[in-house]
Structure 1
């Protein structure tokens, strides 16, 4: 299938940035100043130029295979939304010590919170968008897109938003993902789970993920789903990456 494209900027320890449904510029633009002290490695997942299109739609298992060789240099990994799924699968399969830290931002790991009506709606509607694309019920589609951070008003969908829906259409459903969280926890990978404080269902998922991985937890309101752009997030991320074992060492003492 060919290799994906990774664009690097800056100097210092590598930070592998794995975007979700939106591209790297939208997802990670607010982190650009960190390039003064870190090497920011912007992954372009399949279907996001200049990487090649996927053969059969977005697939977190393919993402994991693409990410695996990028872990050789022992980077910090920061992943957002759908991109978290492939990042977790790759980290769980990697040899111990391959990942310096994991920062996980609002992943669609709905199975971590069973029997919750709001989480169930998020799973059901997210799966519908990937299954039906622009033919998803219009009301549900707009509600989901707003939660996902898309600029959706009352008129027709902006063309870039519609293009994103079409790109996601036919992708592998996030509800199918079952990354080996036990393997990551056993390997002692330091974890930070971050959210934007804009959706109760997402907060519960992030709480559950942080508990499962014995990770640090932070909430950064102000940018919705695009948490990396929220006030204070870049500083929190940098503090975590400079001392990623702090929370676990404290809890284990």
Structure 2
């Protein structure tokens, strides 16, 4: 299928950035100042130019295979939303290749069973991937707003509609069952971050942090795009440095 493209910027230890439904620039633009001290490796998942298109739609299992060779240098891995699913798959297969994991608002709804708001998030997210632009309009708009898309009351902006079409037919996030036990057993340092904008997402992130025995942080101000929230970049760098200092001693 051809290899995915990774664009690197900066100097210092590598930070592998894995975006979700939005592209790298939208997801990680606010982290650009970190390039003074870190090599920011921007992954372009399949379907996001200049990487090749996916063969059968977005697929977190394919993402995991794409990411696996990128762990050779043992980077810090930072992943967002749907991109977390592939990052966890790759990390579970080779936990020794991951220096640390930062996981931002993943759709791991199975971690919080019997919660009505989490169940809605799962049901609607699956509907958007299954039906695309034919999803119930009210549900689609509600989901897109939660996902951080700039959606008003009029027609969907063309870039938002293009994102829905790109996601259409992808592997459903509700099918993901990453091997969290393998990551936990390997002692990989984990930070789970959220934006404090949706109760369902906060519960998922709480459950994920507990399952991985990781640190937990909340950064309001940018909705689903937590990397752009005030204070997030500093928190991320502190997490990296604390871990590096621990390893040094």
TM-score, normalisation: structure 1: 0.96
SS in 2 for 1:245: helix
Shift in CA distance, 118/2, structure 1 to aligned 2, threshold 3 Å: same
8 Å contact 1:190–1:248 — kept in the other structure? no
Q: CA deviation at 1:243?
A: 1.4
Q: CA deviation at 1:245?
A: 7.5
Shift in CA distance, 238/8, structure 1 to aligned 2, threshold 3 Å: same
Structure 1 unaligned regions, length at least 5: none
Paired with 2:242 and 2:182, the residues of 1 have a C-alpha distance of 22
8 Å contact 1:190–1:245 — kept in the other structure? no
Deviations 1:46-82 (A, max 9, x none): 0000000000000000000000000000000000000
8 Å contact 1:81–1:106 — kept in the other structure? yes
Shift in CA distance, 81/246, structure 1 to aligned 2, threshold 3 Å: farther
Deviations 1:158-188 (A, max 9, x none): 0000000000000000000000000000000
Paired with 2:202 and 2:247, the residues of 1 have a C-alpha distance of 21
Shift in CA distance, 118/246, structure 1 to aligned 2, threshold 3 Å: farther
Q: How many residues align?
A: 249
8 Å contact 1:216–1:247 — kept in the other structure? no
SS in 1 for 2:62: helix
RMSD of aligned Cα (Å): 1.7
2:239 is aligned with 1:240: yes
Paired with 1:21 and 1:215, the residues of 2 have a C-alpha distance of 24
In structure 2, what is the equivalent of residue 89 of structure 1? 89
Which segment drifts farther, 239-248 or 34-43?
239-248
Deviations 1:99-133 (A, max 9, x none): 00000000000000000000000000000000000
Deviations 1:133-159 (A, max 9, x none): 000000000000000000000000000
Structure 1: which 4+ aligned runs deviate by more than 6 Å?
Answer: 245-250
Deviations 1:190-212 (A, max 9, x none): 00000000000000000000000
Shift in CA distance, 175/130, structure 1 to aligned 2, threshold 3 Å: same
Q: CA deviation at 1:18?
A: 0.0
8 Å contact 1:214–1:248 — kept in the other structure? no
Paired with 1:203 and 1:11, the residues of 2 have a C-alpha distance of 33
Structure 2 unaligned regions, length at least 5: none
Shift in CA distance, 20/2, structure 1 to aligned 2, threshold 3 Å: same
Q: CA deviation at 1:246?
A: 8.5
